[in-house]
Amino acid sequence: MENGFGLTIVLVVLAIFVIVVLLRSVRIVPQARAGIVERLGKYNKTLNPGLTILIPFVDRLLPLLDLREQVVSFPPQPVITEDNLVVSIDTVIYFQITEARAATYEIANYIQAVEQLTTTTLRNVVGGLNLEQALTSRDQINGQLRGVLDEATGKWGIRVSRVELKAIDPPVSIQDSMEKQMRADRDRRAAILTAEGVKQSSILTAEGARQSSILKAEGDAQASILRADGEAQAIQKVFDAIHAGKPDSELLAYQYLQTLPKLAEGTSNTLWVIPSELTEALKGIGSAFSNTENPATGSVQPPQSGSGI
């Protein structure tokens, strides 16, 4: 019984040992990961995604590396510009591991190395620019940082794809001055726009008044022309009617007498001229009255000389 119990213990221990060996021998590498295998402390191979078999107690699998693009945001760094102003700059780095072996053996901590290299390069680039250039040349700064970082990190098996400046914060006093300047610029632009609006409004008002005056004058002129044409046509019709009726001198004299009161109408008519034709008309009327028919004889008697009415 004791021999059987001891054999059972040995088998159990052997089974556990076999399970442990199998667990240490079989490795599964996920997608977008890479693993470094060391055999007896020396680099052996790089594992790709999938199933692989290792030699137990001989091969050692190092922590897996992420091959996807990574984003690292560094804390704000104080940088002195060319005009001796201290600005605080936040940076964001986009990088990717392209060679797992170099990232493992060429650099101890690639994240810290990238951060320190970014800070140094940023101070060198921004140190050659004044504050205004630093605020308006982000694309230029990003391009220079990416070029320097990509070249320096290439030997570490890392590719820097993009560098972005999240914020450039000048000193508080400079921010206040910039805000006042921006407010003054906005007020100036608003005043200019208001003046332009008033100017355009005045121009449009004057143009409208001019067009209205022109149209009114044209209307008055047209009305005067039409009125004159009407009066001319009326005079012409009266003239034609008079000539068609063949009036005698007595009728014309009578019309002159009808017109005389109209010449005296109005308070301003203090002086008026009687045409010479009126005298002739009056003579015609006198002759007409002198040549009236005698009612007793039925004949017309000429006026006697020297007699008065």
145-197 pLDDT tens trace: 888 888 888 899 999 988 888 888 887 777 677 677 777 888 888 889 888 88
Q: Phi and psi at residue 15, in whole multiples of 5°?
A: -65, -40
Question: What percentage of residues in the chain have a pLDDT greater than 90?
Answer: 12
Q: Per-residue pLDDT for 303 more than 60? A: no
pLDDT score for 88: 87
More confident residue, 92 or 301: 92
Position 197: which residue type?
G
Secondary structure (DSSP) of the chain: -HHHHHHHHHHHHHHHHHHHHHHHHEEEEPTTEEEEEEETTEEEEEEPSEEEE--TTTEEEPPPEE-S-EEEEEEEEEEE-TTS-EEEEEEEEEEEES-HHHHHHT-S-HHHHHHHHHHHHHHHHHTTS-HHHHHH-HHHHHHHHHHHHHHHHGGGTEEEEEEEEEEEE--HHHHHHHHHHHHHHHHHHHHHHHHHHHHHHHHHHHHHHHHHHHHHHHHHHHHHHHHHHHHHHHHHHHHHHHHHH---HHHHHHHHHHHHHHHT-STT-------HHHHHHHHHHHHHHHTPBPTTTSSB-PPPTT---
With CA atoms as reference, report the closest residue to 89 among 56, 55, 126: 126
pLDDT of residue 308: 36
Average pLDDT of the chain, as a whole number: 78
pLDDT for residue 269 is more than 60: no
Q: What is the pLDDT, as a whole number, of residue 267?
A: 59
Gap between the Cα atoms of 181 and 170, Å rounded: 15
> Which sequence spans correspond to the domains of the chain?
2-65, 69-170, 173-225
Report pLDDT for 37: 92
Per-residue confidence (pLDDT) for residue 273, from 0 to 100: 58
pLDDT score at 96: 93
Angstrom distance (rounded) from CA 201 to CA 252: 64
Higher model confidence: residue 21 or residue 156? Answer: 156
Mean pLDDT across the stretch 21-33?
84
Whether the predicted pLDDT of 290 surpasses 80:
no
Taking CA atoms, 23 is separated from 43, 53, 276, in Å, by: 21, 10, 149
- pLDDT tens for 207-257 read 888 888 888 888 888 888 888 888 778 777 766 776 676 666 666 666 666
pLDDT at res. 9: 82
**pLDDT > 50? residue 300:** no
pLDDT > 70? residue 295: no
What are the DSSP calls for 141-175, one per residue?
HHHHHHHHHHHHHGGGTEEEEEEEEEEEE--HHHH
pLDDT at 95: 92
**Averaged over 273-277, what is the pLDDT?**
59
Q: Which residue has the higher pLDDT, 187 or 65?
A: 65
Would you identify the CATH topology of the domain 69-170?
Tetrahydropterin Synthase; Chain A (3.30.479)
Interval 97-112: pLDDT, tens: 999 999 999 998 888 8
